[in-house]
Structure 1
């Protein structure tokens, strides 16, 4: 089999999968499950990944998406080099470099997207100190769980909540989050609202009756 056929095969097969991945990503269907790092059997020796940082870093880059990208650009670059009348050794070398570069670039993009998604996740501990309102009544003295609405990280979110207050917190009661009870439940206290001063009672004027 000539090297030209290898380039062509990689470009067609891997390129088709690459385009399919892109279309699935556009419509919101990912292929996260097809990750090579998740398919390692349990009986692989501990030294399989090597002791050097280079080998472990390289293994961490390998995934279905990055390999598809590598083979796609390996094939396309090889075909372009052959079309430019470069000899086979030079074409193969340039194609390998292009494939490796594509693999690392796609890996970097995936890591960046994962970081952005993680940064957008609402963390329950960030709710501590924030004010909100009761959405579903919260039983008194931590005897049950209700729900609150509170703005965290510029998002209006709901959390299950308990309170140490002696009275049930009704819907609409202003509260403040003071602690996290569990990964899904916060502890709240009612906000004390200042009492308005009652206006002094005005004695009714006595009307003098003229006889």
Structure 2
């Protein structure tokens, strides 16, 4: 503990900032590994009704706890190293702030790239028009009822309701072509033999 007593005020500030930033960074990494982390914030209504509005940060905000943690951890340790080499105080502050900002921007860019990798899980039925499918539950004629079809849509196996305008029932295991989509079901016709 003698080394700590020998530190200047600026070195102590750098050390405390670096340790707190590093500790928070380690906690965030552990929470991320176990799946319990979320970059969230809490808004409160100050008009006196006590309502809390908590929401998760689903976009990539410029101000995130991950970015701030990286800024303080990298900036603090950079300042400590520079002062240990007897670098000018003003220069060490400038370089440590710059290093922290670089870390902040790198984290922001990484988070932005990760968000772009996320896929929207909504199935767009309109993309199925023209595709072939297999009848899973027979389809009654002239839209008198719904049957079911199976197909691969947007990279996943999907089961969906289907109707037909044809005069005869389309049996199970029949091959159909999707000619339209209306809301939550498809309009199909028998697939012509090749």
TM-score of the pair, normalised by structure 2: 0.69
1:23 maps to what in 2? Answer: 30
1:164 maps to what in 2? Answer: 164
Within 1, Cα distance between the matches of 2:96 and 2:157? 49
The runs of 5 or more residues in structure 2 that have no matched partner are 1-7, 47-59
Kindly state the Cα deviation for residue 69 of structure 1 after the two structures are TM-superposed: 1.7
Within 1, Cα distance between the matches of 2:130 and 2:100? 50
Q: 1:143 aligns with which of 145, 158, 161?
A: 145
- Which of structures 1 and 2 has the bigger CA Rg? 1
SS in structure 2 at match of 1:61: coil
1:194 aligns with 2:193: yes
Aligned residues: 172
Q: 2:40 aligns with which of 25, 29, 35?
A: 35
**Quick one: structure 1 residues 145 and 107, their matched pair in 2 at CA, closer, same or farther if it must change by over 3 Å?**
farther
Note the aligned Cα RMSD (angstroms): 3.2
Within 1, Cα distance between the matches of 2:126 and 2:161? 13
Kindly state the Cα deviation for residue 158 of structure 1 after the two structures are TM-superposed: 0.9
SS in structure 2 at match of 1:157: strand
Within 2, Cα distance between the matches of 1:133 and 1:158? 11
Within 1, Cα distance between the matches of 2:144 and 2:109? 46
SS in structure 2 at match of 1:194: coil
Within 2, Cα distance between the matches of 1:161 and 1:179? 12
Structure ranking higher in strand proportion: 2
**Quick one: structure 1 residues 2 and 137, their matched pair in 2 at CA, closer, same or farther if it must change by over 3 Å?**
farther
Kindly state the Cα deviation for residue 22 of structure 1 after the two structures are TM-superposed: 2.5
